[in-house]
Amino acid sequence: MLTIGCAILEASHVVGFEIDSEALQIAKFNATEMEVESVDFVQCDILTGFTSDDCRWRKTFDTVILNPPFGTKKNAGIDMEFLKIATQLSNSSVYSLHKTSTRNYIQKKAKELNCKGEVIAELRYNLDSSYKFHKKASKDIEVDVWRFTALSQ
């Protein structure tokens, strides 16, 4: 939905990256339904496809918007891996969603990535149960919307 939202708001061109083929098909269907044309979708694993310095997408995008998976016990730190890659793809700004409870940690990581990080909005996000270990059908999570910009070298 973030990809389609950017297109609706008249970004000149939008590229959506997704690893899950089913989610990608839904996104393509939704883009067709919404009649957005300036969108391309790429199926790939962000964590393995964009890790080298010679990545063809490096500093290609003016703005990168992401909703990374929240780090859990099973995949602690995964949101920071996504953020690191996003800062490598962007030549200007990154907007990202992160759990409010990790705010101090995110600020520390922003500095390590040579970025200025600022919370620009606070949300309450309803997350439906998606794993066997989830005890509730859904849970409200406090989420921050962050804007990251590269600090001058």
User: What is the rounded distance in angstroms from the CA atom of residue 88 to the CA atom of residue 144?
Assistant: 21
Q: How many residues does the chain have?
A: 153
| Tokens found for residue 75 | 């995949």
pTM for the full model? 0.83
Cβ proximity of 61 and 89 under 8 Å? yes
pLDDT given for residue 126 in this prediction: 83
User: What is the rounded distance in angstroms from the CA atom of residue 83 to the CA atom of residue 85?
Assistant: 5
pLDDT given for residue 37 in this prediction: 85
pLDDT given for residue 94 in this prediction: 94
Cβ proximity of 148 and 96 under 8 Å? yes
| Mean pLDDT (10-residue bins), the chain, 153 residues | 86 88 93 91 82 67 85 77 89 92 94 94 83 75 93 73
Cβ proximity of 36 and 61 under 8 Å? no
pLDDT given for residue 13 in this prediction: 87
Domains in the chain (CATH in brackets) are: 45-150 (3.40.50.150)
